[in-house]
Structure formats: C-alpha cells, structure tokens
Amino acid sequence: MTANSGPVPSAADLQGVVAKAYAAIAEPQSFVPLLNEMIAADEKLGGIGDVADMHFENAEAIFDKVYPLADADYSTMLTHLEQDLECDLALDQDFRVLTANLRIFEGNAGAISDGSGDGSGDYPGDDPGESAAIEREKYVPEWLFDPISKSEDQARLRQMIGQNAKGQSDAASKDDGVDGGVDEGGRMFLRLFTSPRDETGRWFSAQGVTVGDGHAIALQAVRLRWDERRADAFGQAFKLTDTELALTQHLVTGGTTREFAETRGRSVGTARNQLKALQRKLTINSKEQLLLLYAGFIHSLDQPEEDSTSIEYECANLFAEPGGGTIAWEEYGDPSGLPVLYIHALEGPLLTARVDAAARQAGLRIIGPWRPHHGDTTGGEPGPQSPPEFAARLSGLLDHLGIDRCTALGTQAGTPFLAAFAQAQPHRIHKAIAAGPFLPIVSGDDYRFLQTRQRIHFRIARIAPKFARVYLRAMLASMGTGEFHKFVDDYYDSCSRELQTVQRPEMVRNFRRAANYVLPRGRLGPRDTMLNWSEKWGDLLMGLGDRLTMLVGDQDSNTPPEFARLSADRFGLEQPQIIEDAGSFLIEDQPRAVFEIVRSTFD
C-alpha cells in the first residue's frame, strides 16, 4: 500500500506510534503493545500508507547499532519468565500454599482461587470440605493428600524441610518414626490429588528449597510418560528381561496387573509372580515403588540436560554448491534409515532428544537443511521468490547425499518451502507431509480462525511491513536482553498448548543454540520467514492434490482443524489428518504419531 492508495495520514496521526517506536529502542519489549496502536491507527485512517516508513527504517537501523546481533549473549534467552519457585505446587512449613500451577489443579472446576476469596480456609484436618480450594497463602485443602498415607507423607515433608534448614540432605533423625522416603538428593515422591473429584491421584516429586529467609517444599508433578530412549536405559541399567520391561511399561502407562495378564494371554497369578520377581530384582516392595523408581531414574537422566550454559553451536555438515552457494544441514534418527527431508520452522532444524529417538525407532534418517540465510546456508533476496529458489537447490543436496527419492516433511513457517519443493521436484518425493503447517490467509474472513494476538501479527505484516520489520528486529534484540519471553507470551496469548511446548527446557536450549548459530550472521533468515509466512502463497499449494498430506493437532492454535479443512477444499488437497493431544508444535508434541505416518509413505 502507498500513500496515494488511501487517506494520507498526517504527521500528528502517527506521531504517537512513531515516538513510542523510537523510545522503545531503549527497551525492545516495549514494542509489544505498539501492535494494538498500529492496528487502531490503520482502522482510524482507512490505511496507514507509507508516511511513517522512513521513521521505521531509521528505528531498525538504530537497533542494528545499539543491539548488534553478533555480540549478543543468547544464553539468557527465555521463553517464559522464571520465578523463584519453578514448580507445580509450593508449600511453606505449615502447609500453606505459596504458589500453584493452575493447569495441574484445573480439575477443581472453579474451586481454585488466587487468594481473593473471603479468607476462609482451615488447617488441613479440620474438615474444610470438598469446596475447599487451592488458594495462595491458605492452608492446603483436606483432599490434597492421600488419606491412607497422609500422616506419613506430611511427616516426611516436615522432615524434608528440616533437612533443608540444616543445609544437609542426610541430617534426618533415625528415631523420628518416619520410614525413609527422602533420597540422598533430598527428594521424595508422594501421591497427591488434584481436585475433590480426583479418584486416582497423581505422583509428585518433592524437594526442600530456601525462599528468602525461610524454607519451603517445592512439588513437581511427575510426567510419567513412556519414552523409548529412557526406557532402554532403564532396562539396561537394571538388566531387565523383555517381559520385565514390558510389565514396567504397562504399569507406568496406567495399566493394572490383571490387564497385563490379559494382553499377554497369561493368568493373573502368573502376572503377579512376574511382578514379584521384578520387585525382587529391583529391591523394592510394591508397584508404587516401581513407579517411583522409574520416575526417579528418568529424572536423573534429564538433570544433566538442564545445564544450558553451553549454547555454542556450529553445524558440522556443509554442502558447497557448484555456483558458489552453501547449504548447511543437520542429521537425526537412524543414519541408515529411510531418507526424510525436513524443512524447518523459524527456530531451525535442531530436534530434541525425544524426537530424535522417535525417528530412530521408526527407522527414519532425518536430513534437515537450514533454510536460506540461516547459519551457513546462503540465499538471495528475502521474499516470495525464496521458497522456489531454495526448492531448486535442494535437488543438488540430495544428489550430494546420494538420495534419489525421499519423503519431504515440513512444519509451521517451513510449509511454503515444503510446497515449493513438492511443486518443483515431484519426481524426488514419495509424499510431502505438512505437520503443524502454517497456511495462507486468503481473505479477511480467514482471520476468524486465528487467536486475537496472532490475527494482529498477521495484519501488521500486511498493512505495515516496515513496522513489522522493526518489530522483528526488536524481538531479535530481546533474545539477547533476557526479555524474549514477553514476545512469546504476546504471540501465544490464549494458546496454552503452544506455550507449554516452547517452555520445555530442551526446546529453550535449541532456541538458544539456533539463535547463537543464525543471528550473528545476520537477520535476513528471520526476515525471510516473516515475509513468506505473511504472504498470500496459496499458488504453491494449488495442483499438489494427494501429493501433500496435512497433519494437524487437535489443539493447534495457528492452524485449527477447521481452517485446515477449509484450506484443503480451497486448494484441492487431501483432508487433513487430526492428531490428538497436540498443538502446532506437532512433531515435538507427538513425534511417534508423526513418524509412523511418515514411515507409511515408503510402503
């Protein structure tokens, strides 16, 4: 849009936004609320035009001088604000609630409170009743503890606080009547209930922590999900047989001994004997202790990965093209597996350990080229010509790797590049799979499918591209100032599943490593992503038909299933396959489900 395509705004009309844009250079995160003001100015004026573009270009140039990307420290980049107590439930020494993760305790169905109620809340044991809520600064409700082990659990928690107060994990008295339960690292496991209606409870790990001048208990919900990589390590560490490992998996994933017997075609007595033999081998006495042992073991595997101080990263694979360009690429999964060309999202082709393990289990070799202007991959002018240009170059990479045909897998902002490759190189792919795709916004009516904040980001990129560029530059600056989480919170406002995923420590580590590899080389890669993400690139999808399959999470906030279905009809594609319990980070949320479908394309 130009200044002559609509009402020309006066300097006074945009003066406030321009002034704030300059002022926000001192605090890049201050750009977040300016999005609303730009939208309001556009609606008021019937079009912003290009009157303010000079100022936005100037602000972008100042950002380059004040926040040089090559000098930034990306080890402080956060996708969420870390609090003093990063846990699901924190209690003081009197069992009053200090903080609580309301997502964990959402089963209260309205009973949860932020402490703004009438102030009632008795000490546990005084029968507060089923209406009692998890309230900050109030005693925990009666229903929280397992009634069978309540006294013992509370005694062990008090013991834990005592240990923490003394500053030594082995200071517990041997004469206090408590039967152990606190490990050498000062941690214990116990079953808690998440609402008055919760009949099964959930395992939590507890650890004593120091808060200011006092002491507290930090409780973290144990996410007991069966992970093949960790399970193999568990089996090898304790020399379990295949049957013993299968029984462990069955119990960890919520099954019973009787159900295990039925699935194996054995009697219940046989299954019970197998459990007893497993317990003897592990020197434990119950099924509950087996679950605790497994949870503690996988926690010990994860702990070394919590060290995020090392973010130095350089890609080891580099293809030198005959014309002088280069393509860097990553490899995951089974080195001798079926070839899958992975076209990445904004954060790059770095995959987490659980995704790598799922690819290996599926017998897939994941080849993830860095897109143009990302790291050591060269590129031309950012914009809509970038996907088809890169698609032509990928053929050379496949030749270099000795790959004749592959399945192409793309996600999120990599979808235009995936579609361009499927259009340009149909003879080289078995299938193109868009997992958690971003899809083009074709008409104004399409915005109704997006969450409010994402709708605003899309509109800004189209109505005020120069402002969108300086906004992007402010976001990149925030990655080195420790304020990136404010941009993440804004974009994923009301998108709880996506926020959960980007806040995982292993995801944050990959974000940091990708930033450390890409941004010191310039900002053209993220700009190229933004320009193609916001373009009307539907022509790249037309004519693909059944050559492209969309996989969409049932909780995807970027591309809700109904928008994916509309887009399939619009562009003549197969109807999308909906993957349960997943958001737009589909490959990260459900890697095994995605890779099973990818594997099937080779049949």
For the chain, the structural domain boundaries read 3-66+452-494, 89-221, 228-306, 317-450+536-600
Selected residue with higher pLDDT from 253 and 18:
18
CA distance to 348, 351, 551, per residue, from 593 (Å): 21, 16, 10
Provide the whole-model pTM: 0.66
* Residue 453: predicted pLDDT: 85
Q: How confident is the model at residue 173, as a pLDDT?
A: 38
pLDDT above 50 (res 15): yes
CATH class of 317-450+536-600: alpha beta
- Using pLDDT thresholds of 50, 70 and 90, give the confidence band for residue 183: very low
The pLDDT of residue 199? 78
Average pLDDT, the chain: 83
Centre a 10 Å sphere on the Cβ of residue 423 and count the other Cβ atoms it contains. Answer: 20
Backbone angles phi, psi at 50, to 5 degrees: -115, 20
Q: Which of 462, 412, 457, 455 is nearest to 437 (CA)?
A: 412
Q: Which helix (H) or strand (E) holds 434?
A: strand 429-437
> Which tens digits make up the pLDDT trace of 308-321?
445 788 999 999 99
What pLDDT was estimated at residue 128?
A: 38
* Residues 123-137, mean pLDDT to the nearest whole number: 55
89-221 and 317-450+536-600: same fold?
no
Relative to beta strand 364-369, strand 326-333 is antiparallel
Instruction: Give Cα 549 distance to the centre of its chain.
Output: 23
pLDDT at residue 310, as a whole number? 57
CATH number for the region 89-221 comes to 3.30.450
Residue 329, helix vs strand vs coil: strand
Q: Which of 29-38, 260-269, 323-332, 510-519 has the lowest mean pLDDT?
A: 29-38
* Residue, of 287 and 447, whose pLDDT is higher: 447
pLDDT at residue 48, as a whole number = 67
> Over pLDDT 70: what percentage of the chain?
82
Can you say how many angstroms the Cα of residue 102 is from the centroid of all Cα atoms in its chain?
Answer: 18
- Burial of residue 559 (CB within 10 Å: 0-12, 13-18, 19+) is buried
Residue 548 CA to residue 365 CA, distance in Å, equals 20
Stronger pLDDT, 359 or 285, i.e. the higher one: 359
Q: Which CATH class is domain 228-306?
A: mainly alpha
At residue 242 the predicted structure's pLDDT band, cuts being 50, 70 and 90, is confident
- Is residue 180 pLDDT above 70, yes or no? no
Instruction: State yes or no: pLDDT of 39 exceeds 70.
Output: yes
Q: What would the pLDDT profile of 59-110 be if each residue is shown by its tens digit?
A: 899 989 889 998 888 887 878 765 445 678 889 888 988 888 776 775 443 3
- What's the rounded mean pLDDT across residues 112-130? 40
The separation between CA 545 and the C-alpha centre of its own chain, rounded to angstroms, equals: 30
Higher pLDDT among residues 52 and 112, named by residue: 52
Both ends of the chain: CA-CA distance in Å? 49
Model confidence at 340, in pLDDT bands (50, 70, 90)?
Answer: very high
Residue 577 has pLDDT above 60, yes or no: yes
Q: Which of 6-10, 105-109, 223-227 has the lowest mean pLDDT?
A: 6-10
| Helix, strand and coil in the chain, % to nearest 5 | 50, 15, 40
Mean of the pLDDT values across residues 414-428? 97
Lowest mean pLDDT among 12-16, 123-127, 344-348: 123-127
Contact 217, 161 (CB under 8 A): yes
Pick from 80-94, 194-208, 397-411, 509-523 the range whose average pLDDT is largest: 397-411
